[in-house]
Amino acid sequence: MKFAVADGVAVVAHQITDECQVAGVNSPVQLAELERVYQQRQATALMEQGVRLADPARFDVRGTLTCGQDVEIDVNCLFEGQVSLGDGVRVAANCVIANCAIAAGAVIHPFTHIDGEKLGVQVGEGALIGPFARLRPGAQLGAEVHIGNFVEVKNSTLAKGAKANHLAYLGDATVGERVNYGAGSITANYDGANKHRTVIEADVHIGSNCVLVAPVTIGQGGTVGGGSTITKDTPAGSLSVARGKQISLPNWTRPQKKKA
């Protein structure tokens, strides 16, 4: 101040038109109030562009969100980092989406968690994701891919029309077109020291509760029987089964609890 006086600098009044620009932050309450003002302005800007928000008061952007035409976003969705939503994308309630590009016509069902981190995540046109799905860094999903409830995808590429609909894990995998990946199946990609890749060629059917021990390739059009642990490459068009032979013991009696 004394330097201004010494230099003869004039004092000029400025009337602020936006009180939030000069509001103080002296408590968590005040910080939350200003955060909500900031989020409301972002919501308003998106709605003015044509985005339909179910409730702008329950919407958060902590980064940059770009949207195409005819986008719908339900309540309690959080967007972080760099996120883009193509034309006609639908994001259902309670989703967390970070560092992801979602192409036109895709639907993100409720409670889906997508976090691309540095590698990013790509979701193709018309894909269906969730509910309760998790897409981790490096997930690259082609058009019309289905990732269902409690399915996790990490550092994997799924070609057009591939489906993993229930309770499954795909890590470090390359999945061809129209693959059907059964419930409870996993790629065992980590040997305790290094990661290895699994290749599932086009039109393969993986039965339920299978373990694909990488590195391994499942040949085009092949089928892996449910409950199999696959450790070797399989030929194209073959049925591969690797499990213990079922036996039944007749007239077997269950153990009884001992009386006290």
Domains in the chain with CATH codes? 27-122 (2.160.10.10)
Q: What's residue 207's pLDDT?
A: 97
b/e sequence 187-217, b meaning 16+ C-beta within 10 Å: bbbeeeeeeebbbbbbbbbbbbbbbbbbbbb
Q: What's residue 31's pLDDT?
A: 84
Q: What's residue 3's pLDDT?
A: 86
Distance from C-alpha of 166 to C-alpha of 133, rounded to nearest angstrom = 9
Q: What's residue 246's pLDDT?
A: 87
Collect the ranges in the chain with pLDDT lower than 50: none
Q: What's residue 33's pLDDT?
A: 86
Check if 196 is active-site: no
Q: What's residue 20's pLDDT?
A: 66
pLDDT digits (tens, 9 = 90+) for 18-61: 676 767 778 998 888 888 988 999 999 999 999 999 999 999 99
* 220, 236 Cβ separation under 8 angstroms: yes
* 143, 127 Cβ separation under 8 angstroms: yes
Q: What's residue 116's pLDDT?
A: 94
Active-site residue, from 109, 113, 166, 205: 166
